[in-house]
Amino acid sequence: MLHLVLESRLREAVGNVIPDADLPAIRVRPCPDPRFGDYQTNALMGLAKARRLNPRQLAAEVIARLDVRAWCDSVEVAGAGFLNFRVSPSALATVLREVLAEGRPLVPRADPIRTVVLDFSSPNVAKPMHVGHIRSTILGDCLARTLRLLGHRVITDNHIGDWGTQFGMLLVGWKRILDRDALAADPLRELERIYREINARCDPEKEGFDPALLESARAELVKLQAGDSENLEIWREMQRLSQAQFDAIYTRLGVRFDHTLGESFYNPRLPAVVEDLRARGIARESEGAIVVFFDDHPELKDAPTIVQKRDGGFNYATTDLATLAYRVETWQPQEIIYVTDGRQQLHFKQVFEAFRRWKPDVAVTLAHVWFGSILGEDNKPLKTRAGDTVKLADLLDEAEERALQVVTEKNPDLSEAERREIARIVGIGAVKYQDLLPNRQSDYVFSWSKMLALSGNTAPYLQYAYARIRSIFRKQAEQDPENRWEPSGAVAFELTTPEELRLAKHLLNFGIVVEMVADEYRPNYLCNYLFELAGHFTGFYEACPVLKAEGRQRASRLALCEITARVLQQGLNLLGIETAERM
């Protein structure tokens, strides 16, 4: 990792000039504009400002003590006090040789290693997973993969909604209007139907409002919560049916969880949580309910949280407080990350703030990583033609079906089984990539034609770039079966053309981008990095003959192809996207 070498040299030099400088804060990053250099630091300007020094003069003093001749052709002061580093082709060649021959990873191991709990996906029992859950699932899985690659200890926990008021209505529905055949055919569709029907009739605002039914729903819920065996058995059955559907989707998406501790798991702990909050004066009674007030909090002073309702019931926030305490006790994490849509921002602010007051000694970073909505082409939340929410399973089916058309057009000669397998990889990959590419906080428009396009910033484009590189190696092996190119050899890289240099430099930035994704919870950085990588590869491949080159140049270029393929594959893997050897 060249930038880390430069960073440590720079820190030494700065330490010589300013002994009390905060050295770890000094970072070297890729230069945003390659005309000025390859790497850059803006750290000296901040240091100069804090000490009332002239930044350019400080920069000159640092340069005088900075020895990076082994890696850089030049180091220059620019603008208000930036330092720009231009790395030498020989340094690039050395690093790439180590990457290739010694398998040195392009991604640095994190230090220190943290324990991170990731709460994501978390769909609700007895309701089909819909497109709203896809963003949480895909984003959370990508963050888990990224943090793991960096070496962190990651614990993924699916906090499914398997407890709560909806079960009163579901129980009434199950007992009165359940259609067993429909349940056998499509369990979640039937559960959704009974829930909807009962819910509509329990809504005082709606026409067919039936107060007696609402009363029964309440009574069934109370029975369930009191441990009534019949209701518990039905609840467990709904649970099993839902989990089976979730699991089918997770298998298709290649997502797995270390734990699935749903809301019900915390139910027995809720009374003690409320009691403790009261005993510590964090919560108090107000109009019969138990409430946490945030009077002195600028943002939350008008947003108190009810932790126990007047009827004795507990809330979503109470469960989240119990969950937080359990996670801290069980895993001692340094960080807990929650991935949900933006509408839960207030909820998590309240929960985090209440937790801080409740357990002021616990040092854990709490992050709510939220995201915007998926819109239809009409710019309204995505719906089916009939106006229903789109079910995740149907969406994935359609993605694979449409991808099959694209794959068949391109590869009419492949067998049906092969085409279907490629279509699976392409279709699922396209859905995921479209979701990870935009800034997660913005809404995005779901578009089949855009996400499946073979050109542009799409998964199929990147998967195709990967497959194209693999085909170069297949061709090489066919042309010269005796001398199959193997990556293990000590290749001497010859980086002479601008295209080779650009590609080589971009490859070395992979690790920085992976760290940025983890630091800011933004997979879109990686998407854009990979898109640029594919572009640089195309530039290189058009300008530099590979198989037609000879001797050392051929070996060097094949090696560049190999590392590019590895980075594409590894990068897509972090996004949860598979690659195919041919497309």
Report in angstroms how near the CB of residue 339 gets to ligand ARG at its nearest: 8
Report in angstroms how near the CB of residue 512 gets to ligand ARG at its nearest: 31
Please say which residue, 81 or 161, places its beta carbon nearer to ligand ARG.
161
Report in angstroms how near the CB of residue 343 gets to ligand ARG at its nearest: 8
Report in angstroms how near the CB of residue 122 gets to ligand ARG at its nearest: 4
* Spatial separation of the C-alpha atoms in residues 91 and 96, rounded to whole Å: 9
* Spatial separation of the C-alpha atoms in residues 52 and 351, rounded to whole Å: 42
* Spatial separation of the C-alpha atoms in residues 395 and 281, rounded to whole Å: 49
- CB–CB of 192/170 below 8 Å? no
DSSP string for 37-68:
-SEEE-HHHHHHHHTT--HHHHHHHHHHT---
Please say which residue, 82 or 355, places its beta carbon nearer to ligand ARG.
355
* Spatial separation of the C-alpha atoms in residues 144 and 517, rounded to whole Å: 11
Any idea what the Cα angle at residue 16 is, between residues 13 and 22, rounded to 5°? 80
Interface with ligand ARG, residue 239, by CB under 6 A: no
Interface with ligand ARG, residue 338, by CB under 6 A: yes
Interface with ligand ARG, residue 557, by CB under 6 A: no
Report in angstroms how near the CB of residue 262 gets to ligand ARG at its nearest: 9
- CB–CB of 147/246 below 8 Å? no
* Spatial separation of the C-alpha atoms in residues 183 and 575, rounded to whole Å: 35
Report in angstroms how near the CB of residue 303 gets to ligand ARG at its nearest: 17
Any idea what the Cα angle at residue 241 is, between residues 240 and 247, rounded to 5°? 85
The residue to which tokens 């991604």 are assigned: 107
Please say which residue, 227 or 268, places its beta carbon nearer to ligand ARG.
268
User: Applying CB under 6 A, which of residues 84, 124, 318, 458 lies at the interface with ligand ARG?
Assistant: 124
Site for ligand ARG in 141-170 (CB under 6 A): 159, 161
Report in angstroms how near the CB of residue 163 gets to ligand ARG at its nearest: 10
* Spatial separation of the C-alpha atoms in residues 98 and 472, rounded to whole Å: 22
Please say which residue, 127 or 201, places its beta carbon nearer to ligand ARG.
127
- Sheet arrangement for strand 289-292: 283-286, 289-292, 305-308
Contacts of 230 by beta carbon, 8 Å cutoff, 6+ apart: none
User: Applying CB under 6 A, which of residues 119, 192, 220, 353 lies at the interface with ligand ARG?
Assistant: 119
Q: Which amino acid is at 95?
A: V
Report in angstroms how near the CB of residue 8 gets to ligand ARG at its nearest: 40
Please say which residue, 159 or 424, places its beta carbon nearer to ligand ARG.
159
Per the document, the length of the chain is 583
DSSP structure class, residue 108: P
How many residues bind ligand ARG, per CB under 6 A?
Answer: 10
Any idea what the Cα angle at residue 143 is, between residues 141 and 149, rounded to 5°? 105
Report in angstroms how near the CB of residue 327 gets to ligand ARG at its nearest: 10
Strands (E), 301-363: 305-308, 335-341
- The span of 119-127, 246-254, 505-513, 531-539 binding ligand ARG (CB under 6 A) equals 119-127
Strand, coil or helix: 75: strand
* Spatial separation of the C-alpha atoms in residues 361 and 86, rounded to whole Å: 47
Interface with ligand ARG, residue 140, by CB under 6 A: no
- Sheet arrangement for strand 365-371: 153-157, 115-119, 335-341, 365-371
* Helix, strand, coil tally for the chain in percent (to 5): 55, 10, 35
- The span of 58-66, 115-123, 193-201, 329-337 binding ligand ARG (CB under 6 A) equals 115-123
Report in angstroms how near the CB of residue 26 gets to ligand ARG at its nearest: 37
Interface with ligand ARG, residue 320, by CB under 6 A: yes
User: Applying CB under 6 A, which of residues 340, 350, 556, 564 lies at the interface with ligand ARG?
Assistant: 340
Report in angstroms how near the CB of residue 364 gets to ligand ARG at its nearest: 14
User: Applying CB under 6 A, which of residues 122, 137, 245, 579 lies at the interface with ligand ARG?
Assistant: 122
Please say which residue, 293 or 326, places its beta carbon nearer to ligand ARG.
326
Report in angstroms how near the CB of residue 330 gets to ligand ARG at its nearest: 15
* Spatial separation of the C-alpha atoms in residues 260 and 253, rounded to whole Å: 17
* Spatial separation of the C-alpha atoms in residues 44 and 485, rounded to whole Å: 46
Stretch 248-287: interaction string toward ligand ARG, x if CB under 6 A: ----------------------------------------
Residue 448, both tokens: 């089949």
Which residues face 338 on adjacent strands?
A: 119, 368
- The span of 121-129, 146-154, 376-384, 417-425 binding ligand ARG (CB under 6 A) equals 121-129
Classify strands 444-445 and 374-375 as parallel, antiparallel or unpaired.
parallel
- The span of 16-24, 118-126, 389-397, 465-473 binding ligand ARG (CB under 6 A) equals 118-126
Report in angstroms how near the CB of residue 351 gets to ligand ARG at its nearest: 8
Please say which residue, 185 or 346, places its beta carbon nearer to ligand ARG.
346
Name the residues that contact ligand ARG, by CB under 6 A.
119, 122-124, 159, 161, 320, 323, 338, 340
